Structure 1
């Protein structure tokens, strides 16, 4: 065997070796790694502040409404384009503090975020903007509630607005109009300067709520 034949023989062996490595990597490289490491339990689902709000909210729930804590944002809305992976990752990695649903059907009514001091951080501000955009784009009502000790007024205002809007399409006799409870406090700032505004033509018959204190404006009735 001359020198060139020896080199060619070694090249064939090397190429065969690298080819074998490629095949082995294709076979075994795709195997998913098994979950490992030790896990420890998280004692409580809600923080103390969240549990305080949850308790007060639950005590005021109408009979047909149920509240669910810690819901993944991707379970509430999704990108219109299924191939938009960037948008999906934006909602898949976030959660909403509380979601109001109909007990009988689990239909989503509204979402509630409890905003404490942590929401003032730059990263959390960006996350909140993503949540606001996603839910608004999907047509899901979002209430942001400032963390406090007592939430009686703001909870009454939230349910007052939801019940008023859901009752809007139904024809109500003048004698029965007093039975509809409209919100009296702003869900954003809890001000009592929160008023029902009747819309004019061509939207006559519709209405919305406006706060003179913080300029918050609700969605118009259907």
Structure 2
């Protein structure tokens, strides 16, 4: 976890810790699977997407305190998310979350106001 991710974790814990359990660095494939309506589970596309998702992690996952039901996943987008490889990764992750019915929110640190802005 980077220092920025640690700082954001503390902010999230303070703001939402009474309502949600906040988990960090959660492997994507432990939360969602590729959509079998779009890709047959033995197809090359399914396996390619599964391999990618199994190597990626959500920065944070918020779960309801009482029943651990997933509320949403959060990604902290820094300057690295402007690189072509990260833009491609983010696009694939956005699609996989949408297909799985998981709300994915992207955040950025606003250094001028020392706050966290939700991008979507």
Structure 2 unaligned residues grouped into runs of 5+: none
Structure 1: which 5+ residue stretches go unaligned? 1-45, 155-186, 189-215, 217-222
The total of aligned residue pairs comes to: 111
2:15 corresponding residue in structure 1: 60
With CA pairs under 8 Å and 6+ residues apart, which has the higher RCO, 1 or 2?
A: 2
Aligned residue for 1:60, secondary structure, equals: helix
**Alignment pair present for 1:132 and 2:94:** yes
Partner secondary structure for residue 130 of structure 1: helix
**TM-superposed deviation, 1:62:** 5.1
Distance 1:135 1:122 in 2: 20
Partner of 2:64: 102
Tell me, what secondary structure is at the counterpart of 1:111?
A: strand
Q: Which of 93, 100, 113 is matched with 2:75 structurally? A: 113
Task: Return the alpha-carbon distance in structure 1 between the equivalents of residues 18 and 10 of structure 2.
Answer: 16
Higher strand share: 2
Indicate yes or no: 2:5 matched with 1:50. yes
Residue of structure 1 in register with 2:24 after alignment:
69
How big is the shift at 1:148?
Answer: 3.0
| 1:151 partnered with 2:106 | no
TM-score under structure 1 normalisation? 0.47
d(CA) in 2 for partners of 1:111 and 1:124?
Answer: 17
1:53 partner SS:
helix
Q: Provide the C-alpha distance between the structure 2 equivalents of 1:62 and 1:69, rounded to a whole number of angstroms.
A: 13
Structure exhibiting the larger radius of gyration computed from Cα positions? 1
